[in-house]
Amino acid sequence: MSTELEQPFGRAAWRRSWSHTAFRWDLALTVLLLAIAVVVQARYLVWNEGRSGVVLPDPFLELFEPRDFSTLTFGIIWVAILAAAIRLAGHPHRLLRTFQTYAYLALLRVTLMYFAPLDPPATIIPLRDPLVELFSTGEAPLTRDLFFSGHTATLFLLVLVQPAGRLRFLLALAMVAVAALTVWQHTHYLVDVLVAPFLAYGCFRLAGLGRAPLGTDPQRT
């Protein structure tokens, strides 16, 4: 019988999954796709900073003055990613689905930013990652990676792939908090964070085409 937690999980789940040639091929191709998507996105974001775009009218941002929540925002993001990664480490098929969905998300962001270039709000306070800045050489933070919010989409992806439980609820709260803080900081337009969960869900469903639903045992379906 299969359960929501996909028993067995942990090392037993990896041994069982790795014994199937289809899983090994799937994992290899997924890691390759993920690497390509991450490199393409990283290089595009640097190039995109030199483009000019449209400033969107956003009455919502006019309701409050921006504040710098960079440290709090990235603290939530990194803790959420770490907690999700620890939980997903014992669920090979959930982890595989996570990698596939993130690769689709990265490529979708590049595509949408290319065809819909935006300038940041005039009142933006750039979002700075304290962890990244420890190892950086003083590069200016990105300000034009706007539509759609990658942080919001990534956190919602982690909600979608998690087994049911308290962590899924906490990740949902983290997603809402990060979305709210980035808008408050005027790092994103409101539309950037509102559409992000829907696009993440679309990529999640795309990655699931032809696959057993999460929460089932793929080797028994």
Task: Name residue 118's beta-bridge partners.
Answer: 54
- Tell me, yes or no, whether 3 lies in a domain: no
Preceding peptide of 148 cis, ω within 30°: yes
Q: Which tokens belong to 25?
A: 């091929």
Other CB atoms within 10 Å distance of the CB of residue 215: 15
Of residues 151, 14, 4, the one with CA closest to residue 81? 151
Residue at 135 is within a domain: yes
Domain-located, residue 6: no
Residue 137 lies in a domain: yes
Q: What is the pLDDT of residues 72-109, one digit of tens each?
A: 999 999 999 999 999 999 999 999 999 999 999 999 99
For residue 152, what are the domain limits? Answer: 11-220
Q: For residue 1, is it within any domain?
A: no
User: pTM for the full model?
Assistant: 0.90
Of the candidate ranges 1-5, 73-77, 102-106, 111-115, the one whose mean pLDDT is the lowest = 1-5
Q: Is residue 160 part of a domain?
A: yes
pLDDT tens-digit map of 121-157: 999 999 998 877 777 656 788 899 999 999 999 999 9
Residue 179 maps to a domain? yes
The reply to whether 25 falls in a domain is yes
Give the HSE-up count for residue 67: Cα atoms under 13 Å, Cβ half-sphere.
9
d(C-alpha 128, C-alpha 179), whole Å: 15
For residue range 14-67, what is the model confidence (pLDDT) as tens digits? 999 999 999 999 999 999 999 999 999 999 999 999 999 999 999 999 999 999
Task: Please state the domain count of the chain.
Answer: 1
pLDDT one-digit tens code per residue, 148-164: 999 999 999 999 999 88
CA-based max dimension of the chain: 57
